[in-house]
Amino acid sequence: MADLTTGPPLRRVVGFAMPLTAANLLQQGYLLVDGIVVGHHVGVGGLAAIGAAGPLFYLLNAMFIGLGTAFAIRLAHLSGARQNGERRGVVLSLALLTVGWAAGCVVLATLLARPALAVMGIHGDLADACAEFIGVLSLGFPGIFGSAAVSAYLRGLGDARAAMWVAGFGSVLNTALVWAFVAWWGMGVAGAALATAVAATAALVAGLWYARRTHPVPPSGGRPAVRRELADAVRLGFPLASQHVILAVGIMVLVWIIQAYGPVVLAAFTVVSRIEQFIAMPFLDFSGAVTAFTAQNLGAGDRARTRAGLVRTLGLTAVLSLVASVVVLAARGPIAAVFTDDPATRELTERYLLIIFPFFVLYTVMVVLHGHLNGSRRTTAPLVCTVIAFVCVQIPFAWLFNGVFGIEAVMWAVVASWTAGLTYSVLCLRRVLFAPTTEVVPS
């Protein structure tokens, strides 16, 4: 169990984030490989199908992401306060939520996939491919949500390295299976979905085995407070979950706007989305590490240390973001060519990267600030930020100006959204960032 309450703050944050980053880069690497395999062996239509189906899965996954983070924060608080005896109630409530959520999402995916696609304007062969992808993927929902719950448990206990190995195992297996199912056996988008379902189930089994062996749940002296812990997780996690739900619904609206331009545009946006997710992953893990760091140190009563960790992480984030942006911009041509041979899709992908990546640092700094807010149990602020940036800025910008400026308006809407989101996040944290302190922390 990692103790984040002692030692140099930045070293502790980076040390916690690096194993998660390694695991998540493997996972995002799988998504890149998935896009490459589908793009070359299924075609532009296949890329468009998995891109259109993505928001539907994200919508089902959104609430669980927030609630899982709430459980991780609660476990981190207990670890920082040395109250491990209460862990049993948290674990039982997390298990109960996971089982119920997975079962419910299988039903929802079965019943609502077609109507949701119709709402986004997806019809015909593209809708058939999307529905097939979601239907096969739903077979893996128990494994997908179960492995996410195990990861939340391990991260909450500070064992980021274990979370890395479990997620990494699933990602490597996923990569191998997608090549087998799509490239070798020609199973199309259904093969990509089946690879994810099988790999997630295997990761869940591996994660449960490891967690039981190395982090057994301590026996409770009395009746576990399952109902209380579940209610606390819902209260803490609802703003986080709502944030992801808003993003998922907003992405569906963007798909509705984009699909009018045809499969080539939707395919290009799918490629850029996967590239952006891959590059953003280390910074999202910095955000998660700052959440755990802040939660543990607030549990230990050391506010000055939380501020020091945040400020130093922000500096590292800004430097790494600029380096990543330069690399992507310089290599945008070869990057686009890896995914597809279609000239129109490649040209649009390069144009999109050229517009958004000079401003990528706005996004990365914003998500790290959100990590501090979440660890401080101020989970409503990132929710409000999402509403302002995505609902009030990005979607209206894309909708209002795409008729005048074409598809580039949708691209510039991303930059406008990041700018608004960072501005609000800085306002939320201005007192934390600039408040003087006389306490000494390790450098």
pLDDT at 350: 95
Separation CA 93–CA 225 (nearest Å): 9
Task: Check residues 327 and 120 and name the one with the higher pLDDT.
Answer: 327
Ranking 71-85, 109-123, 374-388 by mean pLDDT, the lowest is 71-85
Q: pLDDT band at 443, cuts 50/70/90? A: very low
pLDDT at 108: 87
Ranking 71-85, 165-179, 409-423 by mean pLDDT, the lowest is 71-85
Average pLDDT, the chain: 85
Going from N- to C-terminal start, the domains of the chain cover: 9-434
* Residue 114 contacts residue 174 (beta carbons within 8 Å): no
Ranking 44-58, 114-128, 232-246 by mean pLDDT, the lowest is 232-246
Global pTM?
Answer: 0.70
Separation CA 187–CA 185 (nearest Å): 6
pLDDT at 399: 92
pLDDT at 66: 77
Asked if pLDDT for residue 233 goes beyond 90, the answer is: no
pLDDT at 84: 61
* Residue 262 contacts residue 44 (beta carbons within 8 Å): no
pLDDT at 83: 62
pLDDT at 442: 38
- Angstrom distances, CA of residue 74 to CA of 90, 122, 231, 256, 295: 8, 40, 12, 38, 8
Tens of pLDDT, residue by residue over 376-391, are: 877 788 888 988 998 8
Question: 69: closest CA among 208, 293, 238, 227?
Answer: 238
pLDDT at 55: 81
Tens of pLDDT, residue by residue over 252-306, are: 888 888 888 888 888 888 889 888 988 998 898 899 889 888 888 887 788 888 8
DSSP 371: H
Tens of pLDDT, residue by residue over 126-176, are: 889 989 999 999 999 999 999 989 988 888 887 777 877 888 888 889 889
Separation CA 199–CA 72 (nearest Å): 23
Q: pLDDT band at 441, cuts 50/70/90? A: very low
Residue 380 burial by Cβ neighbours in a 10 Å radius (0-12, 13-18, 19+): middle
Tens of pLDDT, residue by residue over 186-222, are: 898 899 999 999 999 999 999 999 988 888 877 764 5
> Directed axis angle between helix 188-214 and helix 141-156, to 10°?
40
Q: How far is CA 109 from the centre of its chain?
A: 20
Q: pLDDT band at 438, cuts 50/70/90? A: very low
**DSSP-assigned states of every residue in 264-279:** HHHHHHHHHHHHHHHH
